[in-house]
């Protein structure tokens, strides 16, 4: 046993293998020159939450199945959705509360609420507990209008109806 070596430290044998005039790229960048920018973007996109229209389509798909079959819950099977990225994109402190010890399965369940028929995604954690989240919270930003509370439309039409009387 010798002193601990840095993982990027090169031995003299490795230095001799590099031909004069060329640069050593290392093992990490060995195949990087073969990958295009589009392929790199596709690789990184796997780790992001899906676009809002994709999540809306997933919610609508399973919501209609629940309504047609009169079910209170259904398991969501969408392998192309990175659920961990969706949960981690929620506003704080929701990610740590929802993620817990990890994701076993995602369900669409009727939420225990005063109103009937409110469905939300529920994460079944590895320890068997459940945590719910609203998928629209992921897209609470300037580019999405799920949470706009504009009363301009109602105000203008109310004023018009008052003037007609």
Strand arrangement, sheet containing 73-76: 73-76, 103-110, 119-125, 130-133
Q: What is the mean pLDDT of residues 139-163?
A: 55
Q: At the top level of CATH, which class does the domain 52-139 belong to?
A: alpha beta
Decide if 100 contacts 131 (C-beta within 8 A). yes
Task: Measure the CA–CA gap between 108 and 122, rounded to whole angstroms.
Answer: 6
Length of the chain: 165
Whether pLDDT at 82 is above 50: yes
Confidence of residue 20 (pLDDT cuts 50, 70, 90): low
Confidence of residue 69 (pLDDT cuts 50, 70, 90): very high
Task: Measure the CA–CA gap between 60 and 66, rounded to whole angstroms.
Answer: 10
Query: Could you state, in order of their start, the residue ranges of all structural domains in the chain?
Result: 52-139
Q: pTM of whole model > 0.85?
A: no
């Amino acid at each position: 046993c010798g002193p601990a070596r840095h993982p990027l430290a090169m031995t003299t044998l490795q230095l001799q293998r590099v031909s004069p005039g060329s640069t050593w790229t290392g093992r990490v960048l060995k195949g990087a020159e073969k990958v295009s920018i589009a392929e790199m973007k596709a690789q990184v996109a796997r780790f992001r939450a899906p676009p809002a229209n994709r999540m809306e389509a997933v919610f609508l798909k399973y919501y209609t199945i629940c309504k047609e079959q009169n079910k209170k819950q259904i398991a969501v099977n969408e392998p192309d959705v990175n659920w961990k990225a969706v949960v981690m994109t929620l506003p704080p402190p929701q990610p740590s509360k929802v993620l817990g010890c990890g994701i076993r399965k995602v369900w669409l369940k009727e939420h225990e609420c005063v109103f009937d028929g409110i469905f939300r995604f529920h994460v079944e954690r590895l320890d068997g507990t459940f945590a719910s989240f609203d998928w629209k919270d992921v897209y609470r930003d300037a580019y999405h209008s799920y949470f706009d509370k504009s009363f301009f439309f109602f105000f203008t039409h109310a004023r018009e109806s008052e003037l007609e009387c």
